[in-house]
Amino acid sequence: MVGMGLMLALLAQGVSAEGFRARLLVEEGGTKTSYVVDFKPGMIRIEPPDTDVYLILDVSAPNLTLVNPEQKYFVRIDSVTLPPLVEAELVRRNWFPWVSSVSPDLIEGVSLEERGSAPLPDGKRGLYYVGDSPEYDRPVAEYRLDPKASPELFFQWTEVYEDFWGEPGPEAEAAQKKRLALYASLPRLPLVSEERFVFLSRPRIIRIEERQKIPEDAFTIPEDYEEKSAAGLLRETLTERLLRRFGIKGSGSAFCAG
């Protein structure tokens, strides 16, 4: 298990239930990060910022595929091979917009209540849900929901969250399960999620800025791409880094995020 936690987004008005593309804006601690995420039943594709790779999450397997279009290769990753790739920074936790930790004291006793309506990113009105902390007597979670869009595709990631990114240790794991239970109680797609599950004074905000039709080839890996093993990619990368450390130019065949 890796001490991470992930987060994504879902369905749209006028967009087919077979899939859609969304731009997600994540804001935390004054830093804004933009992602392009594609959803279809059983599959999620993520284009992280500041990198040439993209990721495909197969919810049914489950497995994660890292695709490098520039160097024309892909790597299939499971919950066992993920941790060493994260440690080597070949896969980075900030590539996943839905990942965040949870402080057990901030999630304890929290339940969601519908409290009227609130403005959505498109200017329309949406459902407004709030979760109050009994211990701190203030809201620690607020969600603005599209009144017409199902959350089903958006919350696919929760089905494999603990296998891939669940926090280690019984206390942290229990806190994450409570977080997932909150999501399960949301009846519609959350277009704006504002959570204070790590720091009470610093919210983590996820906004779905755009929704459109999913490209036909979004989940297709070209036939001429080479499949590499996770162990092979890790070996290539560490060798490249060692050669560079001693001033020797390597082959440049491995993707190095570090």
**What pLDDT digit, counting tens, does each position of 161-190 carry?**
878 877 677 888 889 899 999 999 999 999
241: in domain: no
Q: Under the phi-then-psi rule, with left for phi > 0, alpha for psi from -120 to 50, and beta for the rest, what region is 30? A: left
State the SS3 of 205-244.
Answer: EEEEEEEECCCCCCCCCCCCCEEECHHHHHHHHHHHHHHH
> Containing domain of residue 204, as a range?
20-236
Residue 82 dihedral angles phi and psi, to the nearest 5°: -65, -50
Average pLDDT over residues 48-56: 93
53: in domain: yes
CATH number at residue 47: 2.50.20
Q: Kindly provide the residue ranges of all beta strands, DSSP E only, lying in the chain, ordered along the sequence.
A: 20-28, 31-40, 43-47, 54-58, 63-68, 73-77, 112-119, 125-133, 138-146, 189-199, 202-212, 226-228
Q: What is the mean pLDDT of the chain?
A: 86
Average pLDDT over residues 190-217: 92
More confident position, 14 or 32: 32
184: in domain: yes
258: in domain: no
Q: What is the pLDDT of residue 16?
A: 54
Tell which residue, 127, 134, 123, has the closest CA to residue 185.
127
3: in domain: no
Q: What is the pLDDT of residue 206?
A: 95
Structure confidence by residue, pLDDT tens digits, 103-130: 999 999 999 999 999 999 888 999 999 9
11: in domain: no
14: in domain: no
For residue 27, what is the DSSP state? E
Q: What is the pLDDT of residue 130?
A: 98
Burial 53-80 (b: 16+ CB within 10 A, else e): bbbbbebeebbbbbbbeebebbbbbebe
What is the tally of structural domains in the chain? 1
90: in domain: yes
Percent of the residues in the chain that have a pLDDT greater than 90, as a whole number? 60
pLDDT reading at 46 higher than 90? yes
More confident position, 195 or 10: 195
Distance CA 100, CA 173 (A): 13
